[in-house]
A and B are shown apart, each in its own frame.
Chain A
C-alpha cells in the first residue's frame, strides 16, 4: 500500500494541538477536567483511559463538535472555533460513533466527501485511495453490505481523502480482528510517516498504543493523570506492558501525579 507524498509540514512554527485548561461539564458531571497538553507536528499521540475517562469528549472538542465549558484549543496555532473552517479543511477524523450513508456505494460516498473537502481532481484522488487501500474489489458495493474490515478501510479512505495534516481517530480498530487491525495500523503509520501528519488517537487497545504512539496521555475521570512515551510509563510503573500500567491507573493502585 502506498500513499502519495504531498504537503509537508516543514514550515510549522506552532504545535499541531495546543490545549489549555480544557474542561467540559454536563450539569454536575465533569467529563473533562482542566486538561492541558500539546502535540508537536508529526507526532502520534494516544489518549488512554477507561470508558468514561473523557477520551471521546476530548476528541469531540478538538473537532469542534462539542463546545468546551472552559479552556482553549489551538490547532496549528489557530484558535478554535474562531478559525474553525480554515482548520477543518486540514484535518479529518474517524469514529465508531459516526457512520457513512450505508445505502450509498463506496465510490458514491467518497465522491461526496471529495466535494465536501473541495478536492481538486476528485476522480484521481478517489482512484488513488482505492488502489492504496485495496478498495477496488468492492468499490461499487453499498457501504452497509461490507464486512467490518472493509468498512474500516473505507472509513480510513474517507479520513485521508483531503490528505489531512491532523488525523483524529477515536478507537480506530474497535471491533476488528487482529489481522485487519494490524493492516489498518500499518496503513496509518505509512501515511503518517510519508506525510509527516500528526495523529491523535483514543484507544483501549494497549498493543496498538505501544506500536503507534510516540507519546501517551493517560486520562482518568476526565483528568490527565500521567503522560510520557510508552517506555517511560512502563519504567515509571515498573510494568512490562502498557496494559498493566493502564490497570494500575484505572484501579488507582499507585499514586499518580
Chain B
C-alpha cells in the first residue's frame, strides 16, 4: 500500500467540527421545511389524519361514557390513546416520508457525496419528524379542547413527556428499519412505510390492556416499548399512579429497538455501498 503523504493541499479537517456538522443537519432539515411550507396539501395532511382520528374516538368515547362503567371512570382513555398512538405512527411516518422524498427525488447521491455523514442525515430526519409530529398531533390536541373539552397535558400531567418521547423514539426506530429496507430494496418497499406500524398496533394494547391478548402473544407484546407506555398511560388515567416498572421496561425495550434499528440501517447502508444502490435508486 501507499505511504501516507506528509501534506496534501486538501483543506485539513482537524477532527470533527460540531459547528459544520450542525450546519449540515440544518441544511437537510431546511430542504424538508422548504418542501413542507411550499405545499399546502402536505401541511394539511399533517393535521388532517390525527384530527379525524381524534374526532372519531372522541364521539365513541362520548357514547361509551354512558354505556360503560370503565370508560365512565376515565373518560379520556380513548382520546389519550389515539393521540399517543398517532405520536408513534406520525413519528415513524415522518421519518420514512423524509427518506422517501430523497428517493423520489433521486437525491441520495448528492447527499452522500457531500461531507454529510449518514448519522447526520438520520439525526436531521429525526428533527423533521419531530416538527411533523408537533404540528400534526399538536393541532389535533388543540382542536380536542373546543370539541370535547379534552386537554391531553391536563389529563396525563408530566407523565405525558416520557410517554411522548418514548413513543416518538420507538416510531423513529421503526422508521430507521424501514429506511434500511428502502435502501436495500428501493421504492418497491415503499408500502412498508405506510403499513408496517399497524402490525404493532394490536400488540401494543393501545385501546385495551395487554392481558386481553391471547397468552402466546403477551410475551411478544412486552417486547414493544409501546405496550409498556400504554399500560403506563392506563395506570395514570385509571389508578392515578405512574407505573415505574412499565416505565423502566419501556426504556429498556426502547434501547434494544434503537440499537437493533441502527445496526440494521448500517448493514443496509453498507449493502447499498457494495451494490451501488445510492446512485441508482428506484423501483
Which A residues are within 8 Å of any B CB, using their own CB?
7, 9, 11-14, 18, 20, 26, 56-57, 60, 63-67, 72, 74-79, 85-93, 95, 97-104, 108, 111-118, 158, 165
Contacts and interface: CB of A to CB of B under 8 A. Distances in A.
Given A63-B113, A113-B114, A117-B114, A9 B9 contact: yes
Contact of B114 (A88, A95, A100): A88
Contact of B106 (A57, A87, A98): A98
Nearest to A10: B9
B27 A97 contact: no
Interface of B: 1-2, 4-13, 20, 23-24, 26-28, 30-31, 34-35, 38-39, 101, 105-117, 270, 273-276, 278-280
A91 to B, nearest CB: 8
A63 B4 CA distance: 20
> 10 smallest A-B Cβ distances: which pairs?
A115-B27, A98-B109, A77-B5, A116-B114, A66-B276, A99-B106, A118-B20, A76-B10, A101-B105, A90-B10
B13 A86 contact: yes
B238 to A, nearest CB: 47
Contact of A112 (B2, B9, B30): B30
Contacts of B35: 101, 103-104
Contacts of A114: 27
A165 B31 CA distance: 26
B235 to A, nearest CB: 45
Contact of B34 (A14, A78, A97, A104): A104
A206 to B, nearest CB: 24
24 contacts: A7-B9, A9-B9, A11-B9, A13-B5, A63-B113, A64-B273, A66-B278, A72-B2, A74-B2, A77-B8, A78-B5, A78-B8, A88-B114, A97-B106, A99-B105, A100-B110, A101-B34, A101-B107, A103-B35, A103-B39, A104-B31, A112-B30, A113-B110, A116-B111
A18 to B, nearest CB: 8
A90 B114 CA distance: 9
Nearest to B117: A85
Given A92-B113, A99-B107, 9 more contacts: A7-B9, A86-B11, A90-B11, A93-B113, A99-B105, A100-B110, A103-B35, A115-B26, A116-B111
A111 B7 CA distance: 32
Contact of A117 (B2, B4, B115, B280): B115
Contacts of B28: 112, 116
Contacts of A20: 2
A97 B282 CA distance: 11
Contact of B113 (A26, A64, A72): A64
Most A CB atoms within 10 A — which of B8, B23, B35? B8
Contacts of B107: 98-101
A31 to B, nearest CB: 9
B276 A116 contact: no
